[in-house]
Amino acid sequence: MENRNYDIVVVGAGHAGCEAALAGARIGFKTLLTTLNLDSIGFLPCNPSIGGTAKGHLVFEIDALGGEMGHVADMATIHRRMLNETKGPAVHSLRAQTDKVRYHEYMKQVLENQDNLDILQCEITEILTKNGSVCGVKNHLEETINCKAVVVCTGVYLDSNIIIGNVITKCGPNGFMSATHLTKNLQALGLKIMRFKTGTPMRIDKRSINFDIFEEQRGVDGLPNFSIRTKHAPKNIASCYIGYTNQNTHDIIRKNLDKSPLYQGIIKGIGPRYCPSIEDKIVRFADKSRHQFFLEPEAMSTNEIYMQGVSTSLPVEVQRDILHSINGFENAKIMRYAYAIEYDAIDSTQLKANLEYKEINGLFFAGQINGTSGYEEAGAQGIIAGINACQYLKQEAPLILSRSDGYIGVLIDDLITKGTNEPYRMMTARAEYRLHLRQDNADARLTEKGYKVGLVSKSQYQKFKKKQKMIEEGKKLFEKILPPNEKLIVFLNKNSEPIVKTGISVLNLIKRPNIDIYKLNNEFKIFPEYPEEVLHELNILAKYHGYLEIERQQIERQKELENTVLPEDIDYSALTGLRLEARQKLKRILPHSLGQAGRISGVSPADINILTIYLKKRNIKEKSKNG
């Protein structure tokens, strides 16, 4: 290598690694991205989609911070839908079916052409430390690469096994090699290792499928882009299809449960509860006569169809029987067999809120190695770890997102405070402030933060400021009073709303069930020719004004606890009054604030009161010392 000295080394080029590496390089640090195989950069080994319920929120937040996932997803989109549209805006979630080949190619191109970023195909075998801080890495070619910070993003490749029936293969997804040496090094550094499992369904040759049997699900036009940087509207050029298993399918699975590595005990890793295999579904939901699945194109350049919802690790002959038992698949041909994959992950409670390992300065972790599942969860952690590696090198305060800042804040707080004993999946139900954390206002919540750390570009920031200016102008127009004249009365009658006898504000008109900002503006031309995204935002702000105000007050009350910092040198074992369980948990987690301490399982409100009293006494002593 021409240059053996870097500021940051990122281990792994999946979705976490890509975001971490780009963050480091774009902020201005010399960064090296290492990967087991250049062909696996930004690879989509499971579902060929980005976004979905809660996951879409994460993609918008990554983009608001200056990340790349949303832009690449827009560029590779072949089918888009907005999930949960019949529900409130808090849970509206954009989902894009992407061309997995184009996604990989585009992300690789972005990385290869990024200033300050080098890419190297190799296996990192050891993280080097000196005096409690990172000083470099070693690879399988016995090269030593000097660096000041490392971000570990090994995904599902860390000591991974592919399992199909009784056949176990030491490799990663799609036959890519696994990382076989780093686990021992991480254990030597004091990290607790856990064994997790996930799976993927078979891929079917689309020429052998009778699509007439299935319900077509077309994409929807006119939806927002994931990224503010995308200049075009992605086109829907492919369809997905909905199908169902049947009783015959279930009987085949039940008869072959003794061949399942899951029930034989061959699989030791813990799988995701929210994404079970088809055999697990049959056992857990024995009363169900059928289970839904989706047929999704993997890419426009291949005949492979992804069979979402039929993940399995049963032997290949059973997989064929399962497939052929389903209407429309009588003559179907499998191109890739379904499999389970086991891999190593770490105990995420050993990390700080900036995703840095508590025991070693400059060592960060992001993605599935932290116990999460999903591309979006990985990308979200990757961008935060990359930013904080830069903050560490600049000797500046880390970027820590609170639970009211974004879904990313919820995700990371859950990981470091509660940990996880199964692959963690982001869901809207995990967020306390869902109405505040909508995907449409991710830029309002996070772009300023991304700009301050040097990741959001000037052009992106200017677009954001222009949009926010229009929203603020629009909010002032909410106060305008419309007189109870004939025009207003006709408008109210037309929309089946009660007549008013006195003047009424624009805000209160929009809040009415049968009126929205679009109807009102068409009739009265109150708002200027704002872009759709601005009108959409204003409509939500008006419709949910009261609920948003209640949430805002809840957030403000919680901020006091979140902003009360707990010094790292507190000796919790010496604090009288704390229960034994609370002492043990606080000593292990080392919460950074009273707010985080209150979310630790086993720490009661009484324990928080004792900590509050302790902090007040400590502050008084420090003030008296300083005169």
Summarize pLDDT for 155-194 with one digit per residue, the tens. Answer: 999 999 999 999 999 999 999 999 999 999 999 999 999 9
Residue in this structure with the two tokens 């029987």, named with its chain if needed: 321
- What is the C-alpha separation between 419 and 350, in angstroms, rounded? 9
- What is the C-alpha separation between 282 and 288, in angstroms, rounded? 8
Query: Looking at the structure, do residues 162 and 31 belong to the same domain, yes or no?
Result: yes
SS3 81: strand
- What is the C-alpha separation between 239 and 216, in angstroms, rounded? 7
**CA angle, 286 then 289 then 292, to 5°:** 105
pTM: 0.96
Query: Looking at the structure, do residues 324 and 400 belong to the same domain, yes or no?
Result: yes
**pLDDT score for 461:** 97
The pairing of strands 193-205 and 77-83 is unpaired
Query: Looking at the structure, do residues 153 and 136 belong to the same domain, yes or no?
Result: yes
Which parts of 52-92 are beta strand (E)?
Answer: 77-83
Mean pLDDT of the region 253-270: 90
Query: Looking at the structure, do residues 282 and 394 belong to the same domain, yes or no?
Result: yes
Query: Looking at the structure, do residues 545 and 519 belong to the same domain, yes or no?
Result: yes
CATH number at residue 592: 1.10.150.570
- The answer to whether residue 391 scores a pLDDT higher than 90 is yes
Mean pLDDT of the region 245-250: 97
**pLDDT score for 3:** 54
DSSP state of 77: E
Mean pLDDT of the region 209-234: 96
**pLDDT score for 198:** 93
CATH number at residue 506: 1.10.10.1800
Domain membership of residue 302 as a residue range: 8-450
Query: Looking at the structure, do residues 233 and 99 belong to the same domain, yes or no?
Result: yes
Domain assignment present for 2: no
Query: Looking at the structure, do residues 374 and 515 belong to the same domain, yes or no?
Result: no
Mean pLDDT of the region 309-335: 97
Domain assignment present for 462: no
- What is the C-alpha separation between 299 and 41, in angstroms, rounded? 16
Domain assignment present for 188: yes
**pLDDT score for 269:** 84
Contact partners, residue 569, CB within 8 Å, separation at least 6: none
- What is the C-alpha separation between 11 and 183, in angstroms, rounded? 13
Query: Looking at the structure, do residues 544 and 578 belong to the same domain, yes or no?
Result: no
Looking at the structure of the chain, the number of domains it has is: 3
CATH number at residue 245: 3.50.50.60
Domain assignment present for 550: yes
Burial code of 27-66, b = ≥16 C-beta within 10 A, e = fewer?
Answer: bebbbbbbbbbeebbbbbbbbbbbbbbbbbbbbbbbbbbb
Domain assignment present for 190: yes
Q: Measuring CA to CA, which residue among 315, 93, 309, 132 is closest to residue 220?
A: 93
**pLDDT score for 1:** 44
- The answer to whether residue 627 scores a pLDDT higher than 80 is no
Domain assignment present for 537: yes
Query: Looking at the structure, do residues 318 and 422 belong to the same domain, yes or no?
Result: yes
Domain assignment present for 459: no
Q: Measuring CA to CA, which residue among 21, 426, 338, 351 is closest to residue 189?
A: 351
Query: Looking at the structure, do residues 514 and 608 belong to the same domain, yes or no?
Result: no
- The answer to whether residue 275 scores a pLDDT higher than 90 is no
Q: Measuring CA to CA, which residue among 440, 412, 443 is closest to residue 349?
A: 412
The two tokens of residue 103 are 């996604």
Mean pLDDT of the chain: 95
Domain assignment present for 1: no
Query: Looking at the structure, do residues 349 and 396 belong to the same domain, yes or no?
Result: yes
- What is the C-alpha separation between 608 and 585, in angstroms, rounded? 13
**pLDDT score for 578:** 92
Query: Looking at the structure, do residues 481 and 569 belong to the same domain, yes or no?
Result: no
| For the chain, counts of helices (H) and of strands (E) | 21, 22
Mean pLDDT of the region 2-23: 93
